[in-house]
Every structure is written in structure tokens, then in C-alpha cells.
Chain A
């Protein structure tokens, strides 16, 4: 029994932290946020060289061949520093190909996702904003040996910068008649636009499909059988987003704790007063608990897939509510300066707002936990 990180994982954490602190401190993050794509192509290449873009891609396809526990280490750090990049999106697109693609498809797409020449993302949601199978209404019309897609995918992360979309669509009226396919940004009938979000470091957008053709060779797995794959990708997404939000929440808590030590009122640091120290202690309990739930979910990805749905839902539900509270209380405990654009804490509050709906809010995940628990 060992529920902790290995020496290698501790080293990875230190290495990522050092790199991000040196190459992308918050002043740089703020500047990048104001640009259209929202990230730095040069840093993206460096991340590829360090092996972090293809961290969970096997070495045979140009990746580092590590697992989801290692990925969580990486994403906690990118979350902590609010590092802007399509890293999570690309990692999830790679997971879709790796877990569901044929050998030929893996050879075709994974190396370019690992070396950063392709940016991938999942395009699952539609206007209904529902993660249930019924939320996917986009119908693939049989067209010879292919499907033709016309419609819109909404709330697509990094839609503007991605050039590889993993699209979920419907092949029939049955709840489970779903398919998963890879679409190139450059193919006819495919267009996408990304927009800034409440968290200026993230991009979200719409994928428009006008009679876009999906040849059989682009289908990941068999048509009409993709429901389990889609649900697992939602779980992986929940784990990845929870990893980033946990890192961000930890930093928000650290900033606020430091402020409580530095700020003097009534002749003493405000962290001396229980009205300030108790909320900080409560946040700490929530933070440590989020970490525990997250690490278990990350472990379950490979080692206990049957437990993943419950574990991922518990982590995202508990974590997203914890971070929402940490963001709000963090700003409040800073007092008026917390409201200024100059201070860092507000950036984390915005990240919390961004992270809440992504891959399901706490209402969605707690309902799922209740169902899995027999209610």
C-alpha cells in the first residue's frame, strides 16, 4: 500500500514548477491572455521537447509513456501558474485516439500530437449543454462509405487554435447510437472560432460543420458503439480539469495565507484573528480532501477503470465546489485590493468560475454519485 508520489514524480513536479516560474510567470501569463490565440507558440514547442505534451502517449508513438498520475502532477503545476495553453485539450484528444483508434490511426495522429505540430480537442457538447448521451443530437447522415455532418458543436475548448477535432455524433435514434471521429480543421465544411472566456487564460468556442465528410478511416472504433468511450473521455476530462483546478486552488489559498501574514490591521497581522484564520483552515481541509479524491481518480484511470466513474465524479464535484469557495473567500479576505486587477488573487477567482461547468458541475456529478450509489 502506497498512496503517495514516487521520487520520479516529485522530480517531475519540481522540474515543471521551475520551468513555469522561469519561463511563464504571471506577468507573462497576463500578456499572453491579451493575444488572440492566448498562448505562446514558442513555449508550446519547448513543452513538446520536454516531453510534456505527449506525457501519456506511449513511446512507440513519440510520447513519454507515462501515466495519469504523472499527468496530474504536470497539470497541478500548469494550474498553479495559470499557464495558458491547449495542453489539456490536446492530451484528451490524444487519449481518445490512443484508447479507441486502430494501430494505423494511432500512427497517423499521435506523433504529431506529442510533438506539438497538431493541437487537438474534444468537440462533444451542443446547445443543450448536456453531458448525457441524449445531449448529442448532431446526426451523421450516411453518405456512401462515409458520414456527412451538418450542425454545431458548442463550448469546444481551444476551438480557435485546434486543428484536430475529436467529434461525437449520432448514428441513430437509440440513446447509445453514438460515434466518435477525428476531423481535420482544414477539411471542407469544417470551421471553428474561439472566444475569450471569463478566465482570460482560457479559450472556448464553436465548431461549425457544413456537410463535413467523415470517412470510415476517421472513425474511432465502430459506429454506434462509442457511448462507453465518450463517457470515459468525459471522466478523463473531469480528472484533468480537477488536476488543474486543484493546483490553482492551492495557489489561491497560498496567496491568501501569505496576505493574512503580511497585512497588519488593529496592530497585528490579520491572520491572527479567528475570523480570518478559521476560513483559511476550512479551505485547507477542502483542499487536502480534493487532492486525495483527485489522486485516487487518477490512479483508477489505468489501475481500476471500473471505479473511475465514481472516483472522477467525487473529485470533480467536491473539488469544483471547494475551488469556487476558495476563489470567493480568497478575494474577500484580501479586502479591497482583492478587487483590483493588479492583484493576482482575482485571476484565480476567474479560473474557478471557468472550471465549474467544464466536464460537469457539482450538481451533475453529485447526481451521478447518487445514482451509482443505488439511489
Chain B
């Protein structure tokens, strides 16, 4: 066991820190569009956008450990994201690199790295949530086109996206539900696509329903072979595994909770002195630290070239508990003041705690509910029979 970094990795950490000192000065408005545009240009020039992607497609060719260092330093300083095309960088890009044709790579990868536009993800359907492979949205081959009919739902940022990565059923007669699915890359401006935003319980509208009515998609925009869609999806979703940045963000949330406990009251005394408050905060810390160390154990397997365990599911479950419980605990600390809605003059801290306590489903439900994660652990790791 050894937690030291190699000289090369340490030098890289210094490089990242120096870059941040120069380009992320204290007090800068990180939401200012002009600042963000400059930031995106600079990190792109460093090849830190798509840092782990091969250099020949324009990525950074960075190693596993350097990737960790980069994410850690960025999260530590609350830096803006490395690149602005979130889903493109998270899974669309990796899927195109792995399964795309040369022409597709040249057409899409540079735009994803530059953040030229957004991608959204068309997987879930009204009747297809946790059981993703049961999807019904139809794609029928007609000459050089697939004609798509059906509906997707919970499609995050669909209203601001130029392209969608879409799963459709091209062979309804396949013997298993995982076969007969094909992955298409579809421009959102294609005639026949309609987007209807869905309002969520915290008042925002980040996701939408997307309807497809005789939408004609050129065959050249198929990703991978016909019927290979399930593999394309699964391997792309697996490319985003490291939880390093998440952990740093969770530690920041914990600091904010500690700070909140110091300025709120419970039973007529400072909440920070209350036995249960103290214990609860320490329990959060234990779970966050466990996430950090679980991540490092799995990283070690990766570095040693050994097969990966399902660290992702373990840490996803821990994170789900933390997101729900920490959000709720903050409201508990606020006492009666927690009842005010965000935006009213009496709300503490502008209502950010109320918003936080209502926004966890985005993380907790998206990408597999806790119950699905438990099935994965029980069936794939513990080898209990499928139900």
C-alpha cells in the first residue's frame, strides 16, 4: 500500500495548480459568459478537454492517475467544467470513438471537444425506465434512411440540444429484448421531432419529453452495426466510472453543512453542540470517506490491469443516501425557517437549502435507481438468482 504519486504525477499536479492560479483568480465570476468562453479555449488548448481520449482524435491521451489528479485539483478549486458539452464528453464521444466510422469521428468529435453545441440522450421511454432494454421506439429501414416513430422521456436538456443519441428498436422479432436495438445519431432539427419540457418538483425544467413522428435519419448516422445498440450503450455508460470529482464535491457540501450547524439553533442551543447533530454529520463524513477510499481501491485494480468490481454501484448507493439525507438534514437544521419557499424574503441563504433538498432525484434516480443498483450488486457480485 502506498498513496504517494510518482514524480511525473506530482509535476503534473504542480502544472495544474499553476494553471489554476493564473487562469482562475479568486473572486472571478465563474458564470460570466466571457470568462467561460476564455476558460474553455484555454483548457482546450491544454488538451484537458477529453483528457483521457486518444491524441489522434484530439484528446489528451492522459493516463489514469493523471486524470485523477486533474479532476481532484479542478474540484478542489471549484473550477468550471473541462469542456461544456456534458453528455458529449461523458458518453456520446466515447461511444463514437469506440464504434464510430472515420467520417463520424471527424464530424462529431472536434465539436464535442470545442463545446460547439449540446448533445442529449434518448434512452428512457414512458414504459421503459429501469427496464431500459424493453424500449419500443421504432426504427424502420427505408432505403438509405431509418424512419423513427415513438416517444422518449426524461431527456435532460433536450430543448437546448442540437443532437440526440437515440436507441430504437429495429428488429421487433428478435429473441431477446437486448437484441434488435440500434443506436442512431439524430439532429434535433429534423422534421417530425417535438420537444415538451417537464417541470420538476423544485420548479425547474431540465428534462423533457421528445416525440418522433416519421423522423427520417440517414443510415450514415447509425452508430455501430444494426442491432448492436445495446452494446454501444452499455460500454459507453461504463466509460464514466471515476468518482473522484464527486467525492471532492461531497466534502464541500459537508463543510457547508458544518458551517450551517454552527449558525443554527436546536432546542434553544447551538445545533453544533447537539449530540445527534454531531453524530449525524460524522456519519456523513464516514460515508464520504468510504466513497473516496472505495474509489481508490477500484482505481488500484484499474492501474494493475485487473478486472473491475462494481465499485460504481457501491458508490452510487452511498452517494444516493448522502444526497437525500444531507439535503434533508440541512432543512432540519433550519427548523421552522425551512418551511419558506425559495425566493421569499424570509428564506435563509436565498432558499438554496430548500432547492437542494428537492433536487436530489436528478442524481439519485438518473442513471439507475438505488433499487436497480442493489439488483446489480446482488446478481452480478453476489450471484443471487435473477428475479
In the complex, which residues of chain A have a beta carbon less than 8 angstroms from the beta carbon of B275? 367
In the complex, which residues of chain A have a beta carbon less than 8 angstroms from the beta carbon of B258? 373-375
Query: Is residue B318 contacting chain A, with contact meaning CB distance below 8 A?
Result: yes
Measured CB to CB, the closest approach of chain B to A322, in angstroms, equals: 10
A375 to B271: give the CA distance in the assembly, Å: 10
Assess the B303–A1 pair: CB atoms within 8 A.
yes
In the complex, which residues of chain A have a beta carbon less than 8 angstroms from the beta carbon of B386? 272
Query: Is residue A282 contacting chain B, with contact meaning CB distance below 8 A?
Result: yes
Assess the A4–B282 pair: CB atoms within 8 A.
no
Q: A278-B371, A296-B293 are in contact. Are A272 and B387 (CB under 8 A)?
A: yes
Query: Is residue B161 contacting chain A, with contact meaning CB distance below 8 A?
Result: no
Q: A3-B1, A280-B378, A280-B384 are in contact. Are A370 and B278 (CB under 8 A)?
A: yes
Assess the A278–B294 pair: CB atoms within 8 A.
no
Assess the A293–B279 pair: CB atoms within 8 A.
no
In the complex, which residues of chain A have a beta carbon less than 8 angstroms from the beta carbon of B290? 289-290, 292-293, 314, 318
In the complex, which residues of chain A have a beta carbon less than 8 angstroms from the beta carbon of B304? 2, 4
Assess the B374–A278 pair: CB atoms within 8 A.
yes
Assess the B293–A3 pair: CB atoms within 8 A.
yes
From B2, B285, B374, contact of A281 by CB (8 A): B374
Chain B residue with minimal CB distance to A297? B293
Assess the B286–A5 pair: CB atoms within 8 A.
no
From B261, B286, B375, contact of A317 by CB (8 A): B286
Query: Is residue B65 contacting chain A, with contact meaning CB distance below 8 A?
Result: yes
Assess the B382–A280 pair: CB atoms within 8 A.
yes
A residues 277-310 near B (Cβ < 8 Å) are 277-278, 280-282, 284-285, 288-293, 295-296, 299, 303
Q: A260-B384, A281-B382, A366-B278 are in contact. Are A293 and B286 (CB under 8 A)?
A: yes
In the complex, which residues of chain A have a beta carbon less than 8 angstroms from the beta carbon of B377? 281, 284-285
Assess the A271–B385 pair: CB atoms within 8 A.
yes
A268 to B294: give the CA distance in the assembly, Å: 33
Measured CB to CB, the closest approach of chain A to B68, in angstroms, equals: 8
Measured CB to CB, the closest approach of chain B to A8, in angstroms, equals: 12
Measured CB to CB, the closest approach of chain A to B134, in angstroms, equals: 18
Chain A residue with minimal CB distance to B382? A257
Assess the A3–B297 pair: CB atoms within 8 A.
yes
Assess the A289–B387 pair: CB atoms within 8 A.
no
In the complex, which residues of chain A have a beta carbon less than 8 angstroms from the beta carbon of B375? 274, 277-278, 281
From A4, A277, A363, contact of B384 by CB (8 A): A277
Assess the A271–B384 pair: CB atoms within 8 A.
yes
Q: A269-B385, A366-B279 are in contact. Are A289 and B287 (CB under 8 A)?
A: yes
A47 to B382: give the CA distance in the assembly, Å: 33
Query: Is residue B107 contacting chain A, with contact meaning CB distance below 8 A?
Result: no
Query: Is residue B326 contacting chain A, with contact meaning CB distance below 8 A?
Result: no
In the complex, which residues of chain B have a beta carbon less than 8 angstroms from the beta carbon of A374? 258
Assess the A1–B371 pair: CB atoms within 8 A.
no
Measured CB to CB, the closest approach of chain B to A24, in angstroms, equals: 27
Assess the A1–B317 pair: CB atoms within 8 A.
no
Measured CB to CB, the closest approach of chain B to A327, in angstroms, equals: 18
Query: Is residue A69 contacting chain B, with contact meaning CB distance below 8 A?
Result: yes
Assess the B65–A369 pair: CB atoms within 8 A.
no
Measured CB to CB, the closest approach of chain B to A260, in angstroms, equals: 6
B residues 239-284 near A (Cβ < 8 Å) are 258, 261-262, 272, 275, 278-279, 281-283
Measured CB to CB, the closest approach of chain A to B260, in angstroms, equals: 12
In the complex, which residues of chain B have a beta carbon less than 8 angstroms from the beta carbon of A373? 258, 281-282, 285
Chain B residue with minimal CB distance to A370? B278
A359 to B299: give the CA distance in the assembly, Å: 32
Assess the A268–B286 pair: CB atoms within 8 A.
no
A145 to B247: give the CA distance in the assembly, Å: 56
| Proximity string of chain A (1-16) to chain B, C-beta cutoff 8 Å, 1 when within and 0 when not | 1111110000000000
Assess the A370–B1 pair: CB atoms within 8 A.
no
Assess the A282–B282 pair: CB atoms within 8 A.
no
Query: Is residue B116 contacting chain A, with contact meaning CB distance below 8 A?
Result: no
In the complex, which residues of chain A have a beta carbon less than 8 angstroms from the beta carbon of B387? 272-274, 277
Assess the B374–A282 pair: CB atoms within 8 A.
yes
Assess the A4–B1 pair: CB atoms within 8 A.
yes
In the complex, which residues of chain A have a beta carbon less than 8 angstroms from the beta carbon of B378? 271, 277-278, 280-281
Measured CB to CB, the closest approach of chain B to A117, in angstroms, equals: 32
Query: Is residue A261 contacting chain B, with contact meaning CB distance below 8 A?
Result: yes
Known: A261-B383, A375-B281. 13 other contacts (CB 8 A): A1-B65, A1-B296, A4-B1, A4-B297, A4-B300, A271-B382, A274-B374, A281-B317, A281-B377, A292-B290, A314-B286, A317-B286, A369-B286
Instruction: List the interface of chain B (C-beta within 8 A of A).
Output: 1-5, 9, 65, 68, 258, 261-262, 272, 275, 278-279, 281-283, 285-287, 289-291, 293-294, 296-297, 299-301, 303-304, 314, 317-318, 371, 373-375, 377-379, 381-387
List 10 tightest A-B contacts by C-beta distance, closest first: A292-B293, A289-B290, A277-B378, A366-B282, A271-B384, A281-B374, A370-B278, A281-B377, A369-B282, A272-B385
